Amino acid sequence: MCCNILPRVSCLLLWISFAAGDVGYFWHVTDLHYDHTYWTSRLSCLEPVPKPGKYGDYWCDSPWALVQDSIASMANITADVDFILWTGDSVAHIADANLTLNLNLEIVANITETLNTSFPQVPVYASLGNHDFYPSNQADYNQSEIYDQVSEMWENWISNQTQVEQFRQGGYYVARIAPKLRLLALNTNLYYTNNKLTANVSDPAGQMAWLDDQLKDARSKGDKVIVTGHIPPSVLTPGLADWFYPKHKTQFVDILLQNSDVIVASLFGHDHSDGFKIIQDETGSRAVTQFTAPSVTPWTFRTASKTADPHNPGIRLVTYDRNTGLHLGYEQYYINLTDSNRNGRTAWTRLYSFTEAYNVSDMSVASLRKIFSLMASDKGTVYSNKYCTYSVVSNYPINCTEAARADIYCGGLHYDLQEAQDCKHKYLASLNGASGLSLNVFVVTGVILVKISAFILQ
Ligand SMILES: *[C@@H]1O[C@H](CO)[C@@H](O)[C@H](O)[C@H]1NC(C)=O
Ligand SMILES: *[C@@H]1O[C@H](CO)[C@@H](O)[C@H](O)[C@H]1NC(C)=O
Ligand SMILES: *[C@@H]1O[C@H](CO)[C@@H](O)[C@H](O)[C@H]1NC(C)=O
Ligand SMILES: *[C@@H]1O[C@H](CO)[C@@H](O)[C@H](O)[C@H]1NC(C)=O
Ligand SMILES: *[C@@H]1O[C@H](CO)[C@@H](O)[C@H](O)[C@H]1NC(C)=O
Ligand SMILES: *[C@@H]1O[C@H](CO)[C@@H](O)[C@H](O)[C@H]1NC(C)=O
Ligand SMILES: *[C@@H]1O[C@H](CO)[C@@H](O)[C@H](O)[C@H]1NC(C)=O
Ligand SMILES: *[C@@H]1O[C@H](CO)[C@@H](O)[C@H](O)[C@H]1NC(C)=O
Ligand SMILES: *[C@@H]1O[C@H](CO)[C@@H](O)[C@H](O)[C@H]1NC(C)=O
Ligand SMILES: *[C@@H]1O[C@H](CO)[C@@H](O)[C@H](O)[C@H]1NC(C)=O
Ligand SMILES: [Zn+2]
Ligand SMILES: [Zn+2]
């Protein structure tokens, strides 16, 4: 059809690029958490650090050298990307008493400028994180100074004035990244259990209604959608914890699942841990993938007993099909912080490729189902150990504990915390050797539903 209006050669090229798949790249960078006191009082550090390293310390947020180096290294590895996804948390883990709104805004502005300097031609689709707000976590459900000021910093990236105005109203917007592909940059801090402003607001900032409208509108126009934001809706794994208020979580996940046919992926930060999950209904017939990219900051949440595995800074390069939006894979890059500090320079290296490491062809729901079903059949010894090792952005193999394996598997298939916990009990019971128990894989109408039949216990 196009050959009637276009010259033959361009028609042929158009056809070839369509048939071959039109492949694009984007960087996903998140949770830089710049500690502006790193060289003085080190207010973010979880324990005293007498000899701070040039690029940071495992128990502190990032010095400027790490922020600067990670962004410059993204451009050095490849500047030829369609866009950059930057999912928030620029400010360090420092008490409100030692921060101000103006300081937080200055930090967001400095990182905005650093990204713009390294990638002058590339749009950045950015979201705020819970630590960017002042006081911390208090994302407003109506206009506020942070939305006003940040909308000015980001307006050339957002580019559409209607959407800049949308950001000013609630900290979220939509961007068109290809003719048939939209990216939603959401403000999920509105649903965070540490946000006192929104606890009793049924649809803070009208984002739920807007999200539903966007997804329905995309369907009616034949568009696909990438959903992004800072805080993910699913449970944290390993660890099994909820980030959203229960009512907001139910409402939000329902909207995603009702429109799962138009969503190609959902991408978040906040966990400071590399992970992936399927958000799905009971039958598995409606499902959306959720990927969390690891943080640049090495800072990790530690339990009361002060235990946690140290983790390295990471940046992620994602490959996608510009026509269908299908996420084809990603390359996870990292530095080992100890080695970087010892050498006085960084050497960002590919840690793993998603498709190679997990032996799948893309980042679709079907591929994640294949991974989780293998986790069940090998009882987690191979794939869960990879997941555990990569979750701390390391190439030093970490064997998952049984509890971590259960979390990865159950949190990976159940977005609901109670269901994930029930699944975990059954999973652990089945590992603990009661005879006659097994992990079965059922195939139901082409959808592999992995179920643990551990409850045939007396
Ligand atoms: C850029 O990458 C090359 C390898 O492709 C490496 O040799 C060089 O050191 C890097 N430069 C910087 C400034 O990171
Ligand atoms: C941090 O805030 C506390 C409480 O206001 C204050 O006592 C302390 O001096 C501050 N520390 C720094 C380094 O600003
Ligand atoms: C932000 O950048 C300006 C200009 O380089 C610098 O003077 C200021 O100290 C930076 N702010 C912080 C908090 O590091
Ligand atoms: C937001 O504030 C404006 C005026 O500041 C007000 O007109 C509007 O009703 C508020 N919206 C919500 C959802 O509270
Ligand atoms: C990036 O830098 C250019 C050139 O200085 C400027 O025009 C543009 O507004 C900047 N964009 C952002 C988002 O900071
Ligand atoms: C800007 O966004 C609005 C609302 O989504 C849309 O109607 C309009 O076409 C967009 N403008 C441009 C220039 O893309
Ligand atoms: C939310 O509403 C409940 C019940 O009305 C009330 O007890 C609680 O204090 C409210 N929370 C906030 C943060 O306003
Ligand atoms: C990878 O998956 C394919 C099927 O998709 C299978 O044939 C092959 O054996 C797998 N390779 C490994 C190393 O598991
Ligand atoms: C970093 O490398 C050192 C060896 O230089 C190794 O002992 C350590 O486990 C690595 N740390 C992480 C978190 O990968
Ligand atoms: C992990 O487990 C395997 C198999 O049980 C074992 O061979 C290996 O030494 C363990 N590795 C670590 C780092 O504990
Ligand atoms: Zn964070
Ligand atoms: Zn966060």
Q: Residue 69's domain is classified under what CATH number?
A: 3.60.21.10
- Residue 241, both tokens: 């914890």
CB 430 within 8 A of CB 452: yes
Q: How far is CA 346 from CA 68, 162, 341, in A?
A: 11, 41, 8
Whether 103 is covered by a domain: the verdict is yes
Q: Output the residue whose Cα is nearest ligand 2's atom 10.
A: 98
Count of structural domains, the chain: 1
C-alpha 104/C-alpha 131 separation (Å) is 9
Whether 372 is covered by a domain: the verdict is no
Looking at residue 432, what is its pLDDT? 73
Looking at residue 301, what is its pLDDT? 81
Q: Is 163 in the pocket of ligand 6 (CB under 6 A)?
A: yes
C-alpha 62/C-alpha 295 separation (Å) is 10
CB 266 within 8 A of CB 85: no
Q: Is 100 in the pocket of ligand 2 (CB under 6 A)?
A: no
Looking at residue 13, what is its pLDDT? 46
- Residue 238, both tokens: 């390993």
DSSP 3-state assignment of 3? helix
| C-alpha 192 – ligand 9 centre gap (Å) | 33
Looking at residue 4, what is its pLDDT? 43
Q: Is 196 in the pocket of ligand 7 (CB under 6 A)?
A: yes
| C-alpha 165 – ligand 6 centre gap (Å) | 11
CB 85 within 8 A of CB 26: yes
Q: Is 200 in the pocket of ligand 7 (CB under 6 A)?
A: yes
CB 125 within 8 A of CB 163: no
Q: Is 302 in the pocket of ligand 7 (CB under 6 A)?
A: no
Whether 447 is covered by a domain: the verdict is no
Whether 390 is covered by a domain: the verdict is no
Whether 431 is covered by a domain: the verdict is no
* Cβ neighbours of 404 (radius 10 Å): 20
Task: Residue 115: give the domain boundaries.
Answer: 16-364
Burial 414-431 (b: 16+ CB within 10 A, else e): bbbbeebbebbebbbbbb
Whether 454 is covered by a domain: the verdict is no
CA atoms in the 13 A half-sphere facing the CB of 366:
9
Q: Output the residue whose Cα is nearest ligand 7's atom 13.
A: 196
C-alpha 194/C-alpha 207 separation (Å) is 18
Looking at residue 441, what is its pLDDT? 34
One-letter-per-residue 3-state SS of 227-266: EECCCCCCCCCCCCCCCECHHHHHHHHHHHHHCCCCEEEE
Instruction: Show the low-confidence residues of the chain (pLDDT under 70).
Output: 1-21, 304-306, 378-381, 433-458
Alpha helices in 378-433 (DSSP H): 383-391, 402-413, 417-431
Give the global pTM: 0.91
Nearest bound ligand to CA 383? 8
Looking at residue 172, what is its pLDDT? 98
Looking at residue 433, what is its pLDDT? 63
Q: Is 41 in the pocket of ligand 2 (CB under 6 A)?
A: yes
CA-closest candidate to residue 272, choices 301, 245, 244: 301
CB 153 within 8 A of CB 112: yes
Looking at residue 261, what is its pLDDT? 98
Q: Please, what is the end-to-end C-alpha distance for the chain in angstroms?
A: 67
Whether 373 is covered by a domain: the verdict is no
| C-alpha 165 – ligand 4 centre gap (Å) | 14
Whether 124 is covered by a domain: the verdict is yes
Task: Identify the bridge partners of residue 287 per DSSP, sorted by sequence position.
Answer: 280
* Cβ neighbours of 261 (radius 10 Å): 12
Please tell me the chain's helix, strand, coil percentages from 3-state DSSP, rounded to the nearest 5: 40, 20, 45
In tens, the pLDDT along 277-310 reads 999 999 999 999 999 999 999 998 877 666 788 9
Q: Output the residue whose Cα is nearest ligand 4's atom 1.
A: 142
